[in-house]
Structure 1
Amino acid sequence: MIELSVPVEKIPYIRTIEGRKFKNGKWQFPDSALTVLQQYKLIDSNIVVSKKEKVQYELSPYLRDYQQKIVNNALNEGCYAIFSETGTGKSPMGLEIAIHFDKALILCPLSVIETAWIDDCHRFYPDKIIVNCHGSSKTERLEKLNSKADIYIMNYESFKILKNEIRNVQFDCLIIDESSVMKNMTSQITSDILEMIDVIPHRFVLSGCPTPNHNAEIFPQIKLVDSDVFGNNYYGFLAKYFTQDMANPHRWYQTQENKNAYYNRLSEKSIFLAKDDCIALPDKTFEIKKIDMGKTQKMYYQNMVQNIKDNINSWSKFEFTAKLMKLREILSGFVINKDNSITDFDTEKDKILQQSIEEIGDKPIIVWCQFIHEIERLAKKFNGMALTSKTKNRDDIIRDFKDNKVKLLFTHPQLLGKGLTFTNCSYNIYYSLSFSYEDFKQSQDRIHRFGQTNKCTYIILQMKNTIDERIYNCLRRKGNAVDELYLEMGLKSINDFKENS
């Protein structure tokens, strides 16, 4: 950090320097700004910023070579971002970072507290005390926060409830798992987490997909790590690392020059790691099974399609998306009536699912679904285990599936979406799909990750000539299925769609 006084007439020059701060009557600049400050003759040209000597930390033997290198870099930096693709072992790296501090706080999705972070801690660091701060009331959460431990872990909701009390605990390390939760610069959780910049000195973020929609989503995540990287001004960040579309001023895109500058700057405080760069994993195989609709299903489907085409130009994006959900329900073998009762009907998808299960044999299978009724109906029909948002013994079911006590699991990608490892399983069947590429990728990575020794097979069940096909094609190329379906079903211009939404 370089600290100095800047004459008033020179202030316009320093506005281009990222990471500048004005504190206690003086300007502070990151060490990387030395050359620019010398050009503006604000600092002597003979001054050289000495580089911090790199320390080789003593790390656990459980870590692979690439993990040890990343963790060592992170500890030397003091604040760091690890953007490591799903399946490369982010949780063990996060735990290794945590144990090098007196008191660490980890924020992560509720779904992975017990079956990923705590299980891994007990397995690799049995001498460390880790506390799950989740609870049914603030009082219960606070009791856990005030207990004696080395590592405290909670979900984002608990953090929002306890954020004021956390200020008084004197944590010296904060780790944000799945930091894409901060991708929205204006969300409340992003604002709450960023308040910790002045509270907890060492901050680390972990994510396999930090920018699921747009590269600008990295800004708040890196700001938490070190605001010197991109500065504090979001719009200044956009102006420097993106190009504005003059035909559509709300759209910012990146040229190759923008991308080069963006990733070069990011590399100072982060690392991007792909599975292929560090782990030799078995191949993936995708099998598409095309299915004809039955008479009743086809009637429901065609009636809904006609209703959409008749009304599409008067609907908002929200209304249109709701109708698409109705189509997806029909393709899953049921309709929800106006009185909220549910009508099931026969669907050939069930027959093909049965055939697929029989072909796989006595091996663990995850069947991915989109609706609670769909999950419960299929689990009952095929004698499997249902895991929904209503399931109370979730962690027990996950452990039983890992231990092969449960062989057929029906669930939604977001319930097992991040941080969980099922390398005992090598078969996924997609009974239905969402519009989310992140959900699709994360669901694949539950089985295709470090420790997997078998070829991973993904079976996609598709109704012919329906939105099943469009959704899958869009997911394969990261397209926007909602926008494309809107155009296909009658809209003249996608701009009309966005104006109506």
Structure 2
Amino acid sequence: MGLGKTISTLIAIERLMYDYFDIKKVLLIAPKKVAESTWAQETQKWSATRRLMVAKVLGSEKERIQALESESDVYVINRENVQWLYEYYRKKKSFPFDMLVIDESSSFKNPQAKRFKAIRKLRPLFKRIVILTGTPAPNTLLDIWAQMYLLDGGERLGKTITEYRTRYFTPDKTNGHVVYSYRLQPGGDKAIFSKMQDICMSLKAKDYLTLPERIENVITVEMNPKEWELYKQMEREHVLSLASDDDVSALNAAALAGKLLQLANGSIYNDDGEIVVVHNEKIERLKELVETNEGKPMLVFYNFKHDLQSIKEAFPKAVELKTDDDVAKWNKGNIQMLLAHPASAGYGLNLQAGGNIIVWYGLTWSLEQYQQANARLHRQGQTQPVIIHHLVTKGTMDEQVMKALERKEAGQDALLEAIKYRKELYKE
């Protein structure tokens, strides 16, 4: 992350298009906020790429079609519209693109997702394919297969995910015929890397850059006795509402973990969709952080909508990251508190000029989102030590998420183990 994937790719496109006349039109798939700003801005930032014309295939269907019909070099679309793009050109029975670039390709790691299935059908129509990611295997090397398939059509790691699993993995956690997780066979990682190495390039920041120090800080948040009793009562009800059998499905575990993390943050939605406030301790700690840091800019990552609402109420001048203008104002030092969700603002944005302090108001189970979000400030161009504060509510699910992130184990397996642990706490 932060080693120049964007500009490297743009220079390659410029040369292939205007020096070698090898390609004519490039389809570029990226996260929405990156599609809106990063690629177009990067072309204008460097003299070597300024003649590249970028069309943003975004907005309403009419606006997307208008962009596709424009005379441009690179057509940037967000990944949520890949299925729409496939249907659009299937009806037209023509396809204008000869090069594909997928930015943050780990968002295509799920072979069952509609976006993967759509681009899989379009894949043979491209002459050249480039995929980019700072987190190629955020949870497990199982995540690699779909991304590699988009590169080589299954030539190296197998035509199907089943073939890949059978060759390099063995079942780990099971329940009869149901397999919940897989583990690598001995030497499996080396065998996989050996297959991939002729068409993949991997660069690590530590080998090429001297980045400022990164300081991790866990701030323990404690509820008062009354709040703690209310929390325990609500957590117990939610945990015991789960099926009593020993095996917890990933879907149920994810839903329950979400509720427990909401409680840890201070609020939860009831069955009527209303917000029930349990405590305001995280808001109070955030106020202390702002006071302690004497108004220095802070990038605050939240998890739930009611967290965003609570922060906005406590800090009326806080700005929710939505537009290119918000990014520009932050990097100019005109925003004291920038609020962002790691799923939408954790990829591809350059925010290092605006500050050096990150606050995780609400934690995420996604190691990929966590790493990518932190890299918005801790990247090339940052001149100050980056301080990452984590607000962790004592005795709650927060602690288990934090431990999993520290061990770089966050993901479905860690989530399931955390839920089983909390079930044990309330067994009679």
Alignment TM-score, normalising by the size of structure 1: 0.74
In the TM superposition, residue 345 of structure 1 has moved relative to its aligned partner by 5.6
Instruction: List per-residue Cα deviations over 1:60-112 (Å, max 9, x = no partner).
Output: xxxxxxxxxxxxxxxxxxxxxxxxxx121221122222222322110111111
1:399 matched to 2:321? The reply is no
Q: Is the 8 A contact 2:6 2:39 kept in 1?
A: yes
- Relative to structure 1, the CA distance from residue 472 to residue 377 in structure 2 (aligned partners, 3 Å threshold; closer, same or farther) is same
1:136 matched to 2:57? The reply is no
- Relative to structure 1, the CA distance from residue 295 to residue 223 in structure 2 (aligned partners, 3 Å threshold; closer, same or farther) is same
Q: Could you tell me which of 159, 165, 176 is aligned with 1:232? A: 159
- Relative to structure 1, the CA distance from residue 225 to residue 322 in structure 2 (aligned partners, 3 Å threshold; closer, same or farther) is closer
- Relative to structure 1, the CA distance from residue 237 to residue 348 in structure 2 (aligned partners, 3 Å threshold; closer, same or farther) is closer
Q: Give the corresponding residue for 2:20.
A: none
In the TM superposition, residue 247 of structure 1 has moved relative to its aligned partner by 7.3
Q: Aligned letter for 1:484?
A: E
Q: Is the 8 A contact 1:297 1:347 kept in 2?
A: no
Q: Is the 8 A contact 1:313 1:490 kept in 2?
A: no
Segment of structure 1 superposing worse, 331-340 or 368-377? 331-340
Q: Give the corresponding residue for 2:313.
A: 380
Give the SS at the match of 1:419.
coil
Q: Could you tell me which of 169, 173, 180 is aligned with 1:242? A: 169
Instruction: List per-residue Cα deviations over 1:125-163 (Å, max 9, x = no partner).
Output: 2222111011212x3211210110111111123332122
- Relative to structure 1, the CA distance from residue 278 to residue 140 in structure 2 (aligned partners, 3 Å threshold; closer, same or farther) is same
Q: Is the 8 A contact 1:141 1:158 kept in 2?
A: no
- Relative to structure 1, the CA distance from residue 372 to residue 308 in structure 2 (aligned partners, 3 Å threshold; closer, same or farther) is closer
1:258 matched to 2:194? The reply is no
In the TM superposition, residue 456 of structure 1 has moved relative to its aligned partner by 0.6
The whole-number CA distance in structure 2 between the counterparts of 1:416 and 1:324 is: 22
Give the SS at the match of 1:489.
helix
Q: Is the 8 A contact 1:142 1:162 kept in 2?
A: no
The whole-number CA distance in structure 2 between the counterparts of 1:420 and 1:412 is: 13
Instruction: List per-residue Cα deviations over 1:189-215 (Å, max 9, x = no partner).
Output: 111111223211101111111222221
Q: Aligned letter for 2:341?
A: H
RMSD: 2.4
1:215 matched to 2:141? The reply is yes
Q: Give the corresponding residue for 2:302.
A: 369
Q: Give the corresponding residue for 1:98.
A: 13
In the TM superposition, residue 176 of structure 1 has moved relative to its aligned partner by 0.6
The whole-number CA distance in structure 2 between the counterparts of 1:193 and 1:329 is: 35
The whole-number CA distance in structure 2 between the counterparts of 1:342 and 1:481 is: 28
Q: Could you tell me which of 159, 175, 190 is aligned with 2:101? A: 175
Q: Could you tell me which of 84, 87, 109 is aligned with 1:161? A: 84
Instruction: List per-residue Cα deviations over 1:463-490 (Å, max 9, x = no partner).
Output: 2222221110111111444222222223
Percent of pairs identical after alignment? 25
Q: Give the corresponding residue for 2:33.
A: 111
Q: Is the 8 A contact 1:135 1:141 kept in 2?
A: yes
- Relative to structure 1, the CA distance from residue 218 to residue 319 in structure 2 (aligned partners, 3 Å threshold; closer, same or farther) is closer
Q: Aligned letter for 2:114?
A: Q
Q: Runs of 4+ in structure 1 displaced over 6 angstroms?
A: 246-249
- Relative to structure 1, the CA distance from residue 439 to residue 296 in structure 2 (aligned partners, 3 Å threshold; closer, same or farther) is farther
Gapped regions of structure 2 (runs ≥ 5):
18-23
Q: Could you tell me which of 475, 482, 498 is aligned with 2:405? A: 475
The whole-number CA distance in structure 2 between the counterparts of 1:231 and 1:345 is: 50
Q: Is the 8 A contact 1:229 1:269 kept in 2?
A: no
Q: Is the 8 A contact 2:301 2:339 kept in 1?
A: yes
Q: Is the 8 A contact 2:29 2:101 kept in 1?
A: yes
The whole-number CA distance in structure 2 between the counterparts of 1:143 and 1:445 is: 34
Q: Could you tell me which of 95, 116, 122 is aligned with 2:44? A: 122
The count of aligned residue pairs is: 402
In the TM superposition, residue 232 of structure 1 has moved relative to its aligned partner by 2.4
Q: Is the 8 A contact 1:384 1:409 kept in 2?
A: no
Q: Give the corresponding residue for 1:446.
A: 376
Segment of structure 1 superposing worse, 165-174 or 221-230? 165-174
Q: Aligned letter for 1:411?
A: A
In the TM superposition, residue 266 of structure 1 has moved relative to its aligned partner by 0.5
- Relative to structure 1, the CA distance from residue 193 to residue 309 in structure 2 (aligned partners, 3 Å threshold; closer, same or farther) is closer
Give the SS at the match of 2:187.
helix
The whole-number CA distance in structure 1 between the counterparts of 2:199 and 2:309 is: 45
In the TM superposition, residue 351 of structure 1 has moved relative to its aligned partner by 2.2
Q: Aligned letter for 1:405?
A: N
Q: Greater CA radius of gyration, 1 or 2?
A: 1
The whole-number CA distance in structure 1 between the counterparts of 2:241 and 2:171 is: 34
Q: Is the 8 A contact 1:115 1:398 kept in 2?
A: no
Instruction: List per-residue Cα deviations over 1:447-470 (Å, max 9, x = no partner).
Output: 111111211101111222222211
Segment of structure 1 superposing worse, 343-352 or 125-134? 343-352
Q: Give the corresponding residue for 1:68.
A: none
Segment of structure 1 superposing worse, 99-108 or 220-229? 220-229
The whole-number CA distance in structure 1 between the counterparts of 2:2 and 2:64 is: 30
Q: Is the 8 A contact 1:173 1:202 kept in 2?
A: yes
The whole-number CA distance in structure 2 between the counterparts of 1:218 and 1:231 is: 11
Give the SS at the match of 1:300.
helix
Q: Is the 8 A contact 1:364 1:406 kept in 2?
A: yes
1:334 matched to 2:264? The reply is no
In the TM superposition, residue 243 of structure 1 has moved relative to its aligned partner by 4.2
Q: Give the corresponding residue for 2:342.
A: 413
Give the SS at the match of 2:373.
helix
Alignment TM-score, normalising by the size of structure 2: 0.86
Instruction: List per-residue Cα deviations over 1:272-313 (Å, max 9, x = no partner).
Output: 222112211111111122122034432321112221454444
Give the SS at the match of 2:391.
strand
Q: Is the 8 A contact 1:285 1:458 kept in 2?
A: yes
Q: Aligned letter for 2:259?
A: K
